[in-house]
Each structure stands twice: as C-alpha cells, then as structure tokens.
Structure 1
Amino acid sequence: MSDDDIDAVLAITSSIIDSKVGTEDEPSLYILVPFNDPDFGPLLKTTDPNVFKNAIDSLRAEGGGDSPEMSLSGLQLALTGAPPESEIFLFTDAPAKDTHLKSTVITLIERTKSVVNFMITAALRSRRRKRAAAEDLAQVSGGLAIEVTMAELPAATSIITQSSTSSLVSLLQANRNPGKADNFTFSVDESVRKITVYIAGTSTTFSLTNPSGVSQESRNNRGPLITASQSVGNFKTLQLKAETGL
C-alpha cells in the first residue's frame, strides 16, 4: 500500500475504535501485524488505542506496487497472538504470496473462533482467482470480504462497524458461483431486533419474500420489506422490516 493508502486505513481504524469506546464492544487488547514482501510482523500488542493508532501512523510504504505480499503469514501471526474470539481486519491491495498457509490459517480460525474481515482495494479487485483465498477465509470465519477502491474505503466504515458487534448473530451464510440462481431461507424469531442482509457480488439481482408472503424485487429500492439500503464496492447492505417466521 502507498502512504496515502496507509493514511486511509488509519482513518478507518480510528473511526472503528472511536465508535466502540465506552460500549460493550470496546476491545481489551489491540494487535497490529504489518506485512509486505518478503517480511511480516513484528506483532504489536497494546491496551491503549492511541498507541495502536500511532503505530499504524508510523508505518510507511516500501516499494509500492501490487506484487504478492505475505498477508497470510501476517494473519497467521495475528491469530496466534490474539485472544480467542477476536475480530481481525486485514487491509490489502495485493494477492497473497503465501497461499500454502491457507489450510493452517483456517485451522487457527476454527480453533480460536475468530472473525476475519478482508478489505480488498483496487489492485486486487479485478483478479478473481487471486482474491479467492480472502473470500474463502472470510466465509469460514463468518467475516466479510469487501472489495472497494481506496476512495470508497471510508464509505465502507459503516458496513464494518455494523458487522463488528457482539450482538450480531448470523442467521444464514451462503456462497454461490456467479450466474447461478438459487433460493435461500432463514428463520427469524422474536429475539431478532434488526435484520441486515449483506450481499457481495456485481450485477446481483434478487427477490425477497417475508413470512406473510409479501415480496420485493432488488430493482425496487423502496418497498414493503426494505427500510434502508447502502451500496459500496462489491457490497450491498439491506435493512429489513423484522417479522417472525421463515
């Protein structure tokens, strides 16, 4: 990443941290693991969010470009050093050079029950095969793989903040190949207070049907089921009117 990209990451992480201060989601520990090629680390641990922010601010790009980087090595180090059930954000604009670590990282994710969110920026967006590892790891962990340009990265902050809360419960998660239509169902009970749907993909069309049989098409941004929507990069978020049932 360039120095400008690092500044954008600092702005986003600062926004996420500030949104959680004083809430039940405020972390007890902050961990930073930088990576590039051929290096990764060292791992920084601190209980002070300002120390964490300053550490990000002190990072400087070396070389630039979009050559493969040691992102999975950095992720592996973060997973081994973080407490169980941590939430990890990985920012990258380059494919992983160390994809041979994918199965090891999956094992660590499952063992620690950690969530990994990938923020994939411009240079990697057009490389479907190269970013597949990120999408697979995000899905295994219950996290998101958001593809945006650097200009769109600030707009993605609200998506990240919404998805990184202790009260979040996944009712359904599914992954399908492009171009294949399918039907998905999920149950909503009385304990659900806010229903958010995350849809990743380009040129995605869909139809929603609530338990009463009322439907709404994706081309209709205003209707009986969707109360609010937001699109950024490859991601669309929908707020739905809560109704118990299938």
Structure 2
Amino acid sequence: MLKYFCCLAILVVAKPWLVDGQSVEKKNSLVFVIDDTGSMSDDIDEAKKQVDNIFDAALKEKDSTIKDFVIVTFNDPDVAHRTTTENRTVFKKALEDITVDGGDDCPEMALTGLKLALENSRDGSIVYLFSDADAKDHEKLETVKKLAKEKNCKLFFMLTGTCFDGPNAPGHRAYFDLAEATHGQVFSLTKKEVGQALGHAVESVRPSEFIGASAFSAVEMSDRSGGDNVVNFNVADNVKEVLISVSGSKISVDVTDSAGGKPKTEETAKTSGSTIIKVLDVKPGNYTANVFSVGDTSVVITGITKSGESSKIV
C-alpha cells in the first residue's frame, strides 16, 4: 500500500537576538529525564556509555548552542531534579549517583518528571525521556504539552517497554501526542539499543549542523504488513546535508532528487525500531524520501547547514 503524507519542517538552530546591536546566539539545554525504577539499570548503563560522545559534540564546537545539561529522574511517586550543569564531571557523577529501585506496579510519574525538567531547562531545549513504563499521570498531558510548546522544546522518547494496557492506553499514547506536538519522536527500543539510539542525540547537538525544530508525521497503516510512505521535501541553498530519522519497524529509506538521481546516503544509527539516514552533499531543490516500514511510523527531517546558518525544509 502506498500512502502519501506531507512533512513540513521549520528549522532553526537557535534564533539569534541582539545585545548592543550585536547578534548573539541563544543557548539551550540538553535534557535527560530518566525513569529510575529497578528495571531501568541496563538503560542507564547504556546512556552512561554515550556521555563523552554527547559532551564532545555539544561543547567542542565553537558555535555550540548547548549551554548546559539537565538530569531529572522519576518513579512513583517521586521526581527529582538531579543537576543542571555545564561540567562533564558533575554530569557524569549525577548519572552515576542514580540508584534504581522499585517500580513493581509499572506506570510511573513520567509527565511529572517531564514537567520538572521543562521548568529547569532553557527555551529551545532538546529533551530525551527514558522509560520502560507508561505514564501514570497522563492527565497532565495538556499541561506538559502547553509548557513544552511555550518554551519551544522538542521531546524525544526512548522507550524500552510498556505496561500491559495495550498500545492505545492513555499513558502510552501520551508519549506520541507530546512528540507530535513538539516536533519530536518516539523510539521503541530494546534495552541494549539505548546507546545506539543516542546517536540521535549526538547528531542533534552539533551546533554548526543541527537545525532545531522538525516535523513529526504519524502514519496509520491499514494492516501490519508494512507500506511505502512518500515524503516530499525541499532543500534550501544553505543546506549541505539532510538527516532523515524514522521510527517504526523493518525500516528502509530510498531518496531521490528532482532529476531522478540517487544522492549519496549513509546510515548513522540503526536499531530494531529506528533508523537515521544522512543524505550527503545535497544540492538545492526538491527531494523525495520513500520510507518503508511496518506499523505506525514517524519521520523527522532536518537540514544540516553550512556554517550553522538557519534554514527550513518544506
């Protein structure tokens, strides 16, 4: 089955503002919201392995838009703001100090933790939530959504499990609603894939390359056997590369330019439930991405600009 859907992305690194007539880059936060119940030990260990890569990507670039790093943990009923820091050592210690415990009843206070994280983050921040459970406090969905949109934060969910209420349970669908509302994405992973999936975070914080906001499109399949989904997008003349991030299952991506040619692509991260494709050396013009996947699918397209310029993909 062939389905078409529109993908619109308004892409901005971090809007410059003026101080004494000078253009100044606004800084944002990279945020980790972590379920610290007993079953999350493997997930946290995988995240720890990526800390240095993420810090290197965020802080070693001279024009970095990342100012600080935030950690918030949650379980049921507690949430805690662990740190906001610019220091790698402090961040790593805060991560090491997380002690997992409890979680026998499965649903956790995920949205309460997310709200606390947003309250302690800068505008335009990039937020990753890690959990293997649904949100017990899903009644806070609209409150969290409003706050995230007001602060122009993008929410990404790294899910390694769910409770036993089915994929349409309110506490599970809340993650998808928030991702769609904030131009983020939901990744369904195994616990050993969390580190691989954090390749997305490494890509997202590269200041001269990352473009801050992107589109989310959920594709409802009429059956579970999979289908082709066509995404048309336009590349501006200041874009040198394009990232296509897909969440789904059994994913393949084929990109065609306006002349019918096949631009060079490389796979930068892949798990059982996600794939990130980089389209290299793009030229201005119209492109088509043919995305095959099984089940519900989301596609996020961002441009990587020359010299960190702002851009948009339509």
* Aligned ranges 1:210-221 → 2 under 5 Å: 210-214=257-261
Matched, 1:142 2:183: yes
Shift of 1:8: 2.2
Matched, 1:163 2:204: yes
Residue in structure 2 matched with residue 237 of structure 1 by the alignment: 276
Q: TM-score, normalised by structure 2?
A: 0.67
Alignment deviations for residues 51-75 of structure 1 (CA, whole Å, 9 cap, x no partner): 1221111111112447010011000
Residue in structure 1 matched with residue 247 of structure 2 by the alignment: 200
Matched, 1:7 2:45: yes
Equivalent-residue separation in structure 1 for 2:96 and 2:164 (angstroms): 25
Residue in structure 2 matched with residue 188 of structure 1 by the alignment: 235
What SS does structure 2 have at the residue aligned with 1:185? strand
Gaps of 5+ in 1: 215-223
Equivalent-residue separation in structure 2 for 1:34 and 1:172 (angstroms): 27
8 A contact 1:118–1:144 mirrored in 2: yes
8 A contact 1:66–1:94 mirrored in 2: no
Equivalent-residue separation in structure 2 for 1:171 and 1:75 (angstroms): 20
Alignment deviations for residues 186-207 of structure 1 (CA, whole Å, 9 cap, x no partner): 1112111111111211244665
Letter in 2 for 1:129: N
8 A contact 1:12–1:154 mirrored in 2: yes
| Identical residues among aligned pairs (%) | 25
8 A contact 2:114–2:144 mirrored in 1: yes
Equivalent-residue separation in structure 1 for 2:275 and 2:125 (angstroms): 25
Q: TM-score, normalised by structure 1?
A: 0.84
Letter in 2 for 1:3: S
Comparing 69-78 with 149-158, greater Cα deviation is found at 149-158
Shift of 1:123: 4.5
Equivalent-residue separation in structure 1 for 2:154 and 2:46 (angstroms): 22
8 A contact 1:196–1:237 mirrored in 2: yes
Decide whether aligned partners of structure 1 residues 50 and 193 sit closer, same or farther in structure 2, where only a CA change above 3 A counts: same
Shift of 1:142: 2.2
Matched, 1:87 2:126: yes
Which of the two has greater helix per residue?
Answer: 1
Gaps of 5+ in 2: 1-38, 287-314
Shift of 1:14: 4.1
8 A contact 1:68–1:94 mirrored in 2: yes
8 A contact 1:94–1:124 mirrored in 2: yes
Name which structure has the greater RCO, CA cutoff 8 Å, separation 6+. 2
Aligned residue pairs: how many? 237
Which of the two has greater strand per residue?
Answer: 2
8 A contact 1:211–1:244 mirrored in 2: no
Decide whether aligned partners of structure 1 residues 75 and 201 sit closer, same or farther in structure 2, where only a CA change above 3 A counts: same
* Aligned ranges 1:92-111 → 2 under 5 Å: 92-111=131-150
Shift of 1:164: 3.2
Letter in 1 for 2:247: A
CA RMSD of aligned residues (A): 2.6
